[in-house]
Amino acid sequence: MKYYTSIIALLVALSMPVLAFGGELVTLRQNITVEGPEITFGDVFDGAGDKSEQVIAPAPNPGKSVIFKAISVAKVARTHGLDWRPTSPVRRIKIQRLGTRIPFENISAEIRAALEYDMNLELFEISFASQQSNIKVGTDQEATVSVENIYVNKRSGQFTAELLAPANVESGTRFKISGKVHKQIMVPVLKNFTPSGREIREDDIEHKAVHAARLGRNAITDAALLIGKSPRRSVRAGVPVNMNNLGDPVTVKKGKLVAVVLRQGGLFLTVSGRTLEAGGTGDIIRVENINSRKVIQAQVVNEREVHVISASQQLAAVQ
């Protein structure tokens, strides 16, 4: 808000000759508001009669206020034949222009469209320096906005947008909004919490847009690399999977009872064993013979069976 004393002085200089006496008696309105781009005597006074449409100053921007010195308003009024003198408590006259707020979603959509064209990007997110935009247009104007210019640092993603409201209206309000562009990419993620050892299937996977800058160096971006594998450590739903956290699915868990099978020539021998570590199909794991307590190296066949390897060396451990 500021004093429009220079405008008042200009209007006084260009007005009709001063009427020293006999002006029409008027009363100051309370809580003065205007809707259009100009302030008239009718906006300020009751009883202005045929002077009601006389413009005395430009209105502030929509949603803003302006303050006049009461003594200056009185001089302009008397110049135009209106009799009003400020009383002692009235030193300033505040006039507010009504406005319609433009939803921030509309502003964001216009900026996004401009960035998409300028940076040739389709998948990105925007963060703004301030979400509390209070851009207003007059109540007699359309609540629209247009991007007049946009400046982007393509290395850092920082941008400044110059906008105009209402859209494409030269007499509209100009303002700036700054923010940052975050490039995104689509990556495969797991739909549900997946514990270690569980095999990942195609229907376990969905895709999610994530900030490229936040994606780890070893994050998997190709769903084909997930299928048939399993996490070494549990993975939360919706989180990119790190390549280093992938292994073959666990067929048999640690501490499980399995059949230990030895085949050598015509010899076929089976004993009970307990796994000392987890393993996937084809993995070589350590298994303890339940009877002899000796440790055997065996290859996982399925969740209930392992086969002894290097049979000539392992035969003594099975017996």
CA–CA gap between residue 72 and residue 69 (Å, rounded): 5
- pLDDT for position 26: 92
d(CA 222, CA 122): 19
- pLDDT tens digit string along 95-113? 999 999 999 999 999 999 9
Q: Residue 177: in which H helix or E strand, if any?
A: strand 173-190
- CA angle, residues 318, 288, 233, in degrees to nearest 5: 140
Q: What is the residue whose two structure tokens read 């309000």?
A: 173
Alpha-carbon span 165 to 155, nearest angstrom: 29
Cis peptide before 166 (omega within 30 of 0): yes
Of 281, 191, 198, the residue nearest 245 (C-alpha): 198
User: Token digits for 71?
Assistant: 């003594």
3-class state of residue 86 by DSSP: coil
Confidence grade of residue 315 (pLDDT, cut at 50, 70, 90): low
**pLDDT for the residue 319:** 55
pLDDT of 22 above 90 = no
Beta-bridge partner residues of 247: 230
Per-residue pLDDT band for 167 (boundaries 50, 70, 90) equals very high
Which range is least confidently modeled, 4-8, 43-47, 58-62, 186-190? Answer: 4-8
Question: Is the pTM above the cut of 0.85?
Answer: no
The model's pLDDT over 253-281, given as tens digits with 9 standing for 90+, comes to: 899 999 999 887 778 889 999 999 988 88
Domains and CATH numbers, the chain: 5-97 (2.60.480), 104-184 (no CATH), 186-247 (3.90.1210.10), 257-318 (2.30.30.760)
Report which of 183, 125, 116, 104 is spatially closest to residue 150, judged by C-alpha positions: 116
Structure tokens at 248: 């073959």
How many C-beta neighbours within 10 Å does residue 211 have?
A: 12
53 pLDDT exceeds 90?
yes
